[in-house]
Amino acid sequence: MCPTGMDHTGSERSDFLKGTLDMLILKVVALGPIHGYAIATRVQQISNDVFQPQQGSLYPTLHKLEKDKLLSSEWKQTETGREAKFYALTAKGKKRLENEVQNWNRLSGAVALILNTAE
Amino acid sequence: MAWGRSSKQAQRERQLDSELSFHLEQRIADNIAAGMSAEEARRQALIEFHGIERVKEECRGLHWENIVDSIFRDFVYALRTLRNDRRFTLLAILALALGIGSATVIFSAFYGVILNTFAFKNADEITAFYIVDQDRPANRRPNLTLPELVYYREHNHVFQDLSGEFGGFGGTPLVYSAGGSTYQFDGCFLSANSFELFGMQPLIGRLPTEDDVKPGAAPVFVIGAKLWREHFNSDSSVVGQSFTLNGVPRMLVGVMPPRFRWAWVDAWLPFSLDPNEIATNPDLKGKAAYVVGRLKPGVTVKEAAADLDVVAHQYARIEPRSYPKRFTVTAKRSSEEAVDGLGFSRLLYPLMAAVILLLLIGCANVANLLLARATVRAREIAVRAALGASRARLLCQFLVESLCLAAVGCAAGCLLAYIGIKVLRPLIPFNAFPQEAVIELNQYVFLFSLGMAVLSTLICGMSPAIHAMRLELRSQLTATGTSNLGATQGKLRSSLVIAEVALSVILLVSAGLMMRTFLRLQNMDLGVNPKNVLYAGLSFPRGVVQKPEEQQHTFELFFDKLKRLPGVNAVSATMSRPPLGGPATDLIIPGKVHGDDWRTLLELCSEGYPAVMQIRLLQGRFLSESDVTGVRHVAVVNEAFARRYFADQNPIGQTVKFGVFDRVPTLKDTYFEIIGVVSNTRNQRLNDPPAPQAYLAHTLLSMGYKAFVARTSVEPESLIPQVQQVAWDTDPHVAMINATSVDGFLQKFFYANSQFEFITLGSFATIGLLLVLIGIFSVMGYTVALQTHEIGIRMALGAERSRIVKMVLRKGMILIAPGLAIGVVGSLASERYLAHLFHEATPVNAGTYGGVVILTIVAGLVACLAPARRAAKVDPLEAIRCE
């Protein structure tokens, strides 16, 4: 199992940073209450199919985030009238996301800087 | 398992189901929307889902209730599988129980003797020290004169206090008379401050204090729990009573607890360390005391020695004569010192190592058994893994299974240890351990065995678990069950068996040696018949009967009465018990050149001696009654004496002189005429050949003590109360001491050690052999299980069943051979060490080795039988088809 829980699509390995899936989930959930399936498709869409979260890692991660009180959940009806579990960001989750984004930006900025200079 | 699951958990489970199926439905719907057929859409969605159970497991694993629940399920599952495979379970539990049990027994001895020797408060602080001559390190002085002790006590900076003791270890017999009876027990003098220093509370009464030894204070003493129980029937009213001990009235103020046995005596008389008192009290004059001290908190033994070194050099300037030219002070914890010189204690370290090895071997056996099962269960494990069991869950499953085994093994092991200690305790020689030490199962020993159980769980559970995880899971489902196992693992397993065979061979050889020693000692011809002989001494109290003639008279009166006692056939005075002769003396024979080594042992006895001890008269005659009563200067010598000093002459009629009598005024320059020669007896312990010995009339010498032997027609020790009464009837001031049968004496002092070592080693060797059986059985069982397929093919190709059996047996023997060789070579190599370690071990002999080798091979064959029969029963069709 790759550390991020992402399945690599063959050409691009996306498992270079631990905890990325956590951050992506938090980011997607931050846009508004959303159920697991939608999280998976949204991550895939937004990342232009680079990231394809697998159920095998998505649900354990969701449950872990919920247990850590970064996410809250609620059973609601979807547009199709089916009951589904909707996840929302808690205050703690929001804070964590801000931290993660900041860290990420700093890190990726630094990496970009190095890569550009190295050319 | 619905049982034990909360409604909250059930709800969580339902929600998990519904969340995941919602995902699946959405995916199918999307796939259909993307243009797939309904069937294809479902198939794709399911493929993507990679095993819905595994996802569920992982989500469940986040909640502790679920973890507890799954461990609980593991337990139920483990118990069920263990119950289904009874033979395996019993073998595994037996192996663990034997391992844990023997480790527990030895640890309880180790704890009792080495770690908790004394029951003193903070016993680690009690420290002894010696003055060591640097030019001759063997020359070390542990005793200090009392003024020296006072000086050390005042000038050291490391001890809270110092204690002094003298007259212990049998040096101070205390005699007291009460109501027409006289008793004697061992006492010693102990400085009054010692009782507080040791910090033990009395059972009843109080401890002596320094007030009790102030000038003019009434003398007091305390007794030990054993004497109180055996002699005073645990009567608490004795405390406060006054006893006249050796003529001095003393008040008994307290009873010490059972584990207070300082100086190995039953009574302690306090004395003062006040310099004035030491200078004036005649009891204390010129005495030297054995000294120990209680270190101040935080002071190490080395620091103490350094400080005492300074004090000792200061004192050496005051009293230079009592110190060597160059000396130093060494210090040692009393607990270490107490164990140092004692026979069996030093055996504890190698034994501890041996039982830990036994336990490890037991664990290795169980691991092997589990491995064998893991192979058989490889498919089951692969299925479980495919159904979503994570590696952690599988590991957990294995550990739970071995935990179940270890828990039962631990309980059974503690039971074995309990029985073992109960059986072994009465066999422990009295001088094997410090008398203060107690060997029992206590909380520390239980903690140890629990620790051993946890250790076994990990050792047993880990290796099959790791092994199972290394298996290519998918290949287990698709290919045959007998995937190729790593060669290294096979080697590891074989080396375990080799190690256990080797260890058990060494144990067996040691046990065989001890058995031979024991049998040799027990069957040794002593030259006397020790059966049905009672030995006892009469002690005449100081200050009551003074004159030797009176003592002699008392003794004769006693003898007359004793001869008439029913059950007594013959009596004689004596000075010694076999296998010891009497005192040694140098020898002068007129007309012969006197050599340095012209010595003989002396036995002072009466005319009944040959009848009591059943020695044979070879020449002349033995002492007659008139020789004894008339105190005639005649001697009977033994064969060794006659051979040595009168090889070519007739000894009868020759005269000899015994050097020791020159110190006795009435016997100075007395020559004795030899009147007879008797057969030899063992008189220099058991191993040395008989030394020259002369038998003289006991009436020649009078001492405050007379011993006698009596041949009885009943069990000798059953006569002790009557003989005691006869003594009191003769003179109420006579105490009978050391009463024992000669048999019992031999057992206690000469056979007990080798018997105990033989039984201990024999038990461990048996356990080792049992473990070897289980080990070979498990490895061979495993091999056969792995080769079922191959055996099937061989049989299908026409191999006969007997050839299959032979093949298995041959493999078993190949497994045993290297261990056997290593064990034999190891025993030969450690022979000298073993001989040193064990009491009077006889030299190694081929018979012992041959026996051990044959025993091991037979055990190996027995262990191979069941797997071989299983192999022979393999149905070729079944074996091939089932793959």
- Which chain B residue has the Cα nearest residue A80? B26
Q: B671 lies in a domain?
A: yes
Q: Which residues contact B46 (CB under 8 A, 6 or more apart)?
A: B24
In the predicted model, what is the mean pLDDT of residues A32-51?
Answer: 84
Do the Cβ atoms of A60 and B55 come within 8 Å? yes
Q: B607 lies in a domain?
A: yes
**Is the CB of residue B257 less than 8 Å from the CB of residue B182?**
no
Query: B744 — phi, psi (to 5°)?
Result: -65, -40
**Could you give the CA distance from residue B870 to residue B792 in angstroms, rounded to a whole number?**
12
CA B769 remoteness from chain centre: 21
Do the Cβ atoms of B23 and A41 come within 8 Å? no
B13 and B45 co-located in one domain: yes
Interchain contact B48–A (C-beta under 8 A) = yes
Q: B462 lies in a domain?
A: yes
Q: Which of A55, A64, A71, A82 to mutate to test the interface with B (most CBs of B within 10 A)?
A: A55
Domain range for B43: 7-71
How does B130-144 read in b/e, with b if 16+ C-beta sit within 10 Å? bbbbeeeeeebbbbb
In the predicted model, what is the mean pLDDT of residues B731-740?
Answer: 87
Interchain contact B12–A (C-beta under 8 A) = no
In the predicted model, what is the mean pLDDT of residues B133-151?
Answer: 90
DSSP string of B110-139?
HIIIIIS---STTGGGEEEEEEEESSSTT-
Q: Which among A56, A64, A75 has CB closest to B55?
A: A56
pLDDT band at A16 (very low <50, low <70, confident <90, very high): very low
In the predicted model, what is the mean pLDDT of residues B81-97?
Answer: 86
Q: A113 lies in a domain?
A: yes
pLDDT band at B610 (very low <50, low <70, confident <90, very high): very high
Q: Which of B9, B16, B23, B48 to mutate to test the interface with A (most CBs of A within 10 A)?
A: B23
Q: Quote the pLDDT of residue B487.
A: 47
Interchain contact A81–B (C-beta under 8 A) = no
pLDDT band at B151 (very low <50, low <70, confident <90, very high): very high
pLDDT band at B3 (very low <50, low <70, confident <90, very high): very low
- Which chain A residue has the Cα nearest residue B48? A54
The most confident of the ranges B23-32, B392-401, B544-553 is: B23-32
**What mean pLDDT, rounded, does chain B reach?**
85
B476 pLDDT exceeds 70? Answer: no
Do the Cβ atoms of A54 and B26 come within 8 Å? no
Q: B530 lies in a domain?
A: no
Which of chain B's residues have a Cβ under 8 Å away from the Cβ of A63? 59, 62
State the total domains in chain A.
Answer: 1
Which of chain A's residues have a Cβ under 8 Å away from the Cβ of B19? 35-36, 59, 84-85
Indicate the DSSP class of residue B698.
G
In A50-90, which ranges are continuous DSSP H helix?
55-67
**In this predicted model, what pLDDT tens digit does every residue of B319-367 receive, in sequence order?**
888 899 999 999 999 988 888 767 666 778 878 888 888 888 888 888 8
**In this predicted model, what pLDDT tens digit does every residue of B819-874 receive, in sequence order?**
899 988 888 887 767 666 665 555 667 888 888 899 999 988 888 888 888 888 87
- Which chain B residue has the Cα nearest residue A41? B27
* Lowest mean pLDDT segment, chosen from A15-19, A53-57, B400-404, B658-662: A15-19
Q: Which among A55, A60, A75 has CB closest to B23?
A: A55
CA quadruple B376, B378, B383, B388: dihedral sign:
positive
Q: Quote the pLDDT of residue B477.
A: 47
Relative to beta strand B248-255, strand B220-223 is parallel
Q: Which residues contact A48 (CB under 8 A, 6 or more apart)?
A: none
Interchain contact A44–B (C-beta under 8 A) = no
In this structure, which amino acid lies at residue B538? L
B178 and B276 co-located in one domain: yes
Q: A102 lies in a domain?
A: yes
In the predicted model, what is the mean pLDDT of residues B495-517?
Answer: 82
* Lowest mean pLDDT segment, chosen from A57-71, B369-383, B463-477, B550-564: B463-477
CATH of the domain at A60: 1.10.10.10
Higher pLDDT, B53 or B637: B637
Interchain contact A53–B (C-beta under 8 A) = no
Q: How many angstroms separate the CA of residue B825 from the nearest CA in chain A? A: 52
**In this predicted model, what pLDDT tens digit does every residue of B192-242 receive, in sequence order?**
999 999 999 999 999 999 999 998 899 999 999 999 999 999 999 999 999
Cis omega before residue B579 (within 30°)?
yes
Helix (H) or strand (E) holding B707: strand B705-712
Domain range for A40: 6-118
What are the percentages of helix, strand and coil residues in chain B, rounded to 5?
A: 55, 15, 25
pLDDT band at B469 (very low <50, low <70, confident <90, very high): low
**Could you give the CA distance from residue B794 to residue B773 in angstroms, rounded to a whole number?**
28
B759 and B637 co-located in one domain: no
Higher pLDDT, B95 or B544: B95
How many cross-chain Cβ pairs, A to B, lie less than 8 Å apart? 53
B659 pLDDT exceeds 50? Answer: yes
Q: What percent of chain B has pLDDT above 70?
A: 90
Query: B473 — phi, psi (to 5°)?
Result: -60, -45
Radius of gyration for chain B, computed over Cα atoms and rounded to the nearest angstrom: 38
B472 pLDDT exceeds 50? Answer: no
Relative to beta strand B126-133, strand B140-141 is antiparallel
B464 and B502 co-located in one domain: no
pLDDT band at B798 (very low <50, low <70, confident <90, very high): confident
B532 pLDDT exceeds 60? Answer: yes
B528 pLDDT exceeds 80? Answer: yes
Q: Which of A35, A45, A63 to mutate to test the interface with B (most CBs of B within 10 A)?
A: A63
Q: Quote the pLDDT of residue B609.
A: 95
Secondary structure of residue B630 in the 3-state scheme: coil
Q: A30 lies in a domain?
A: yes
Burial of A114 (0-12, 13-18, 19+ CB in 10 A): exposed
Which of chain A's residues have a Cβ under 8 Å away from the Cβ of B51? 56
Relative to beta strand B533-539, strand B735-741 is antiparallel
B111 pLDDT exceeds 70? Answer: yes
Q: Quote the pLDDT of residue B6.
A: 66
B722 and B870 co-located in one domain: no
**Could you give the CA distance from residue B280 to residue A93 in angstroms, rounded to a whole number?**
90
Interchain contact A18–B (C-beta under 8 A) = no
Q: What is the pTM of this model?
A: 0.75
Q: A1 lies in a domain?
A: no
Helix (H) or strand (E) holding B389: none
Q: Which two tokens stand for residue B712?
A: 């009885």
Q: Which residues contact B33 (CB under 8 A, 6 or more apart)?
A: none
Do the Cβ atoms of B50 and A55 come within 8 Å? yes
A1 pLDDT exceeds 50? Answer: no
State the total domains in chain B.
Answer: 5
B206 and B61 co-located in one domain: no
Interchain contact A85–B (C-beta under 8 A) = yes
> Mutual orientation of helices B348-376 and B443-470 as an angle, nearest 10°?
30
Secondary structure of residue B646 in the 3-state scheme: coil
Q: Quote the pLDDT of residue B222.
A: 96
Secondary structure of residue B763 in the 3-state scheme: helix
Query: B651 — phi, psi (to 5°)?
Result: -70, -25
Interchain contact B54–A (C-beta under 8 A) = yes
**In this predicted model, what pLDDT tens digit does every residue of B241-285 receive, in sequence order?**
999 888 889 999 999 999 999 998 999 999 999 999 898 888 888
Which of chain B's residues have a Cβ under 8 Å away from the Cβ of A75? 15
Single out the residue in B436, B455, B485 at which a domain terminates. Answer: B485
Secondary structure of residue B538 in the 3-state scheme: strand
B314 and B386 co-located in one domain: no
Helix (H) or strand (E) holding B853: helix B846-872
Q: B133 lies in a domain?
A: no
**Taking the CA of residue A77 as centre, how many other CA atoms within 13 Å lie in the half-sphere pointing to its CB?**
3
Query: B792 — phi, psi (to 5°)?
Result: -60, -45
B457 pLDDT exceeds 60? Answer: yes
CA proximity to B791, closest of B811, B808, B810: B808
Query: B220 — phi, psi (to 5°)?
Result: -130, 170
In the predicted model, what is the mean pLDDT of residues B494-501?
Answer: 80
Do the Cβ atoms of A41 and B55 come within 8 Å? no
B186 and B93 co-located in one domain: no
Place of tokens 């034994």: B351
CB atoms within 10 A of CB B249: 11
Q: Quote the pLDDT of residue B486.
A: 45
**In this predicted model, what pLDDT tens digit does every residue of B695-716 receive, in sequence order?**
999 988 877 788 999 999 999 9
Whole-angstrom distance between the N-terminal and C-terminal Cα of chain B? 33
B2 pLDDT exceeds 50? Answer: no
Higher pLDDT, B189 or B522: B189
pLDDT band at A5 (very low <50, low <70, confident <90, very high): very low
**Is the CB of residue B745 less than 8 Å from the CB of residue B577?**
yes
Interchain contact B23–A (C-beta under 8 A) = yes
